[in-house]
């Protein structure tokens, strides 16, 4: 049964209504405060969250984690799910694949009926076999690596956003439009980016990668790597990193030593507003990143208003926020369709029946759908945009040279 457009328009209206709750007498607190039961009074439905709050994925996982908490609070303030409150239990795997099995076992031991895997891609990959053993369905709110939802052991795991395979299509469209045939790559040394590079760079058959340079995630100097990239004379440079300090250092160094060359990046830098302030004045100008926040989307507008009321008018809404919000809404809808969260098999089947969900990110007509054979929610490329930074080190809007088509 499809999720109606009118139903998700109602969700947007509900987002606006939540503004009163988050600024007034509504439940949740700031940051990592645990959501309360709100007006729901039944026995709690435990949702487990594996959140990297201290490892290499923390720069984006903590952003999503805050909005997951806010979304749970919203559900509870509106009576919960089937009259029962959602109760969040949280553990931290530090994006370390070796820690994932124990973390998920611990969440299951605390009674979790479904899981949110808010961690690095390499860690989530390790989670797949453990999910099969536990029999618990899981959503990876900000996952982008296609193999996360591909066989084997993919029966219980789901993602929302366009994957790196789609990114490769968009980058190739951009490179063709900008007459770029030779690419230089500057990357960090995290396991998350190693997994992402394998998928993304393998899909960039449209260009020749003439040089790849790697730096430590905690590097203090990338001058040598950038100099070697410059000597290879690429038409453009792509930075692949989890963001944070490495990305800032990379862009500062490229702006200083490699000016005049087009620069591209992942979604990381665009979704980490705290990093923009750390870049040198004008260092991000002209940088093009993979984005999915489009203020023409009414659900994005509603979520933006909510989060600005919660965090202040200077808050920059990110794809991490929108995907986190939607993940909680999708779980709520699946529990309602299943009639109970207590049978994991039924809950998993219910997730697979959700179609036509109008997302809080992407272009206005972007939707998410799932099935027994489709565990990636994105319907087409409408969830992606190429966004350009302005001279003030803030995104100024869509890149005029190329935008992904809203299909295929």
Taking residues 2-12, what's their average pLDDT?
A: 38
Give the pLDDT of residue 407.
63
Give the pLDDT of residue 86.
98
Helices (H), ranges, 201-343: 223-232, 244-257, 267-270, 273-276, 298-311, 319-338
Higher pLDDT, 322 or 6: 322
Residue 2 has pLDDT above 80, yes or no: no
Tens of pLDDT, residues 161-213: 998 889 999 999 999 999 999 999 999 999 889 988 998 999 999 999 999 99
Mean pLDDT of the residues in the chain: 90
Give the pLDDT of residue 15.
41
Give the pLDDT of residue 171.
97
Pairing of strands 385-389, 288-291: antiparallel
Q: Which of 121-125, 181-185, 248-252, 367-371 has the lowest mean pLDDT?
A: 121-125
- With cut-offs at 50, 70 and 90, classify the pLDDT of residue 18: very low
Give the pLDDT of residue 405.
85
Higher pLDDT, 316 or 28: 316
Residue 282 has pLDDT above 80, yes or no: yes
Give the pLDDT of residue 406.
77
Tens of pLDDT, residues 80-97: 999 999 999 999 999 999
Contact present, 29 and 76 (Cβ < 8 Å): no
Tens of pLDDT, residues 109-143: 999 999 999 999 899 999 999 999 999 999 999 99
Instruction: Please tell me the distance from the alpha carbon of residue 17 to that of residue 22, in angstroms, as a whole number.
Output: 10
pTM: 0.80
Higher pLDDT, 4 or 32: 32
Q: Which of 16-20, 44-48, 136-140, 148-152 has the lowest mean pLDDT?
A: 16-20
């Amino acid at each position: 049964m499809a999720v109606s457009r009118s139903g998700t328009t109602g969700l947007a209206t509900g987002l606006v209504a939540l503004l009163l709750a988050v600024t007034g007498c509504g439940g949740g607190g700031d940051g990592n405060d645990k959501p309360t039961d709100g007006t729901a009074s039944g026995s709690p439905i435990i949702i487990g969250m594996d959140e990297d709050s201290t490892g290499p994925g923390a720069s984006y996982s903590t952003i999503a984690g805050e909005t997951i908490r806010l979304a749970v609070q919203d559900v509870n303030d509106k009576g919960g799910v089937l009259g029962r409150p959602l109760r969040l239990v949280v553990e931290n795997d530090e994006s370390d694949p070796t820690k994932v099995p124990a973390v998920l076992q611990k969440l299951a031991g605390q009674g979790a009926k479904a899981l949110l895997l808010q961690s690095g891609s390499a860690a989530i990959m390790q989670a797949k076999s453990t999910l099969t053993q536990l029999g618990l369905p899981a959503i990876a709110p900000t996952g982008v690596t296609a193999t996360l939802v591909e066989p084997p052991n993919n029966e219980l795991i789901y993602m929302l956003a366009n994957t790196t395979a789609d990114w490769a299509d968009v980058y190739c469209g951009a490179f063709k439009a900008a007459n770029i045939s030779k690419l230089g790559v500057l990357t960090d040394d995290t396991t998350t980016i190693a997994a992402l590079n394998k998928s993304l760079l393998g899909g960039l058959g449209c260009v020749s990668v003439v040089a790849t340079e790697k730096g430590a995630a905690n590097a203090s100097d990338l001058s040598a790597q950038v100099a070697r990239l410059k000597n290879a004379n690429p038409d453009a440079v792509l930075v692949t990193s989890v963001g944070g300090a490495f990305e800032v250092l990379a862009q500062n160094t490229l702006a200083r030593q490699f000016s005049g060359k087009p620069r591209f990046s992942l979604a990381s830098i665009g979704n980490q507003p705290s990093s923009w302030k750390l870049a040198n004045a004008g260092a991000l100008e002209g940088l093009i990143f993979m984005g999915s926040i489009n203020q023409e989307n009414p659900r994005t507008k509603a979520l933006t208003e909510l989060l600005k009321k919660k965090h202040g008018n200077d808050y920059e809404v990110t794809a991490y926020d929108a995907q986190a919000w939607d993940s909680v809404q999708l779980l709520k809808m699946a529990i309602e369709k299943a009639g109970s969260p207590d049978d994991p098999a039924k809950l998993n089947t219910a997730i697979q029946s959700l179609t036509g969900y109008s997302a809080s990110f992407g272009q206005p007509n972007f939707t998410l759908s799932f099935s027994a054979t489709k565990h990636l929610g994105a319907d087409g490329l409408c969830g992606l945009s190429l966004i350009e930074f302005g001279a003030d080190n803030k995104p100024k809007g869509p890149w005029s040279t190329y935008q992904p088509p809203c299909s295929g």
